[in-house]
Amino acid sequence: MMRAKPNHPLAKKTLQAWRIVGLLEWLFYLLIPIGYGLAVWYFEFPLWPTYIIVVAIILLGYFKVILIPKLKWNNWKYKVFENEVELMYGVFVIRRVIIPMIRVQHVDTKQGPILRYYQLASVTISTAATTHEIPGLELMAADELRDHIAKLAREADPNE
């Protein structure tokens, strides 16, 4: 029997936040054509690579700001069960992760400045081995999810 895919999406505003992050990263890449332009000016490098670099940077901007955030947002799903949390995410390689409640050590929420501006938060679920993150939930939903997972993890712990 095949397990159904998780069905809870991230908040729609997460897409906007990811696009802003992509834009900020892309602005950093603009230093490459500027640097090469300075090299052309001072060291008489050939001018033709500048056009290739500019086209590559524009394509990179399209991927980082428009395409990749949309694909990430479309593929990010999660679901909380009584005994586990299931995450599904990825762009080219789709990952499905199951986190048993008995392995959950602590759960918290976090916000950076961009998420805070959009009233979003990420829920992080820590186990002994690693930390998993559900990014971009509405602030109230993130707090409720954190508390719900923490409660289920306490109930799953046989030592308590």
Q: Locate tokens 């694909």: which residue? A: 71
> What distance in Å separates the CA atoms of residue 159 and residue 102, rounded to the nearest whole number?
10
Residue 160 has pLDDT above 70, yes or no: no
Residues 57 and 101 in one domain: no
The token duo for 4 is 């159904």
Which tens digits make up the pLDDT trace of 21-67? 999 999 999 888 888 888 888 888 888 888 898 899 999 999 999 99
Residues 48 and 86 in one domain: no
Task: Band the pLDDT of 159: cuts 50, 70, 90.
Answer: low
Residues 102 and 67 in one domain: no
Which tens digits make up the pLDDT trace of 127-150? 988 999 999 999 999 999 999 999
Q: Report the 3 state secondary structure along 71-93.
A: HHHHHCEEEECCCEEEEEECCCC
Query: Which one is predicted more confidently, 56 or 160?
Result: 56
| Domain total in the chain | 2
Residues 86 and 50 in one domain: no
CA distances from 41 to 28, 37, 44 (A): 21, 6, 6
106 and 126 in contact (C-beta within 8 Å)?
yes
Residue 102 has pLDDT above 80, yes or no: yes
CATH number at residue 144: 2.30.29.30
Instruction: State which of 72, 96, 118 marks the end of a domain.
Output: 72
- The single-letter code of the amino acid at 35 is G
The token duo for 5 is 């895919």
Would strands 77-80 and 8-9 be described as parallel, antiparallel, or unpaired? antiparallel
The answer to the question of residue 2 being in a domain is no
- The single-letter code of the amino acid at 87 is L
> What distance in Å separates the CA atoms of residue 54 and residue 35, rounded to the nearest whole number?
12
Name the residue range of residue 42's domain: 13-72
Question: What value does the mean pLDDT of the chain take?
Answer: 92
The answer to the question of residue 151 being in a domain is yes
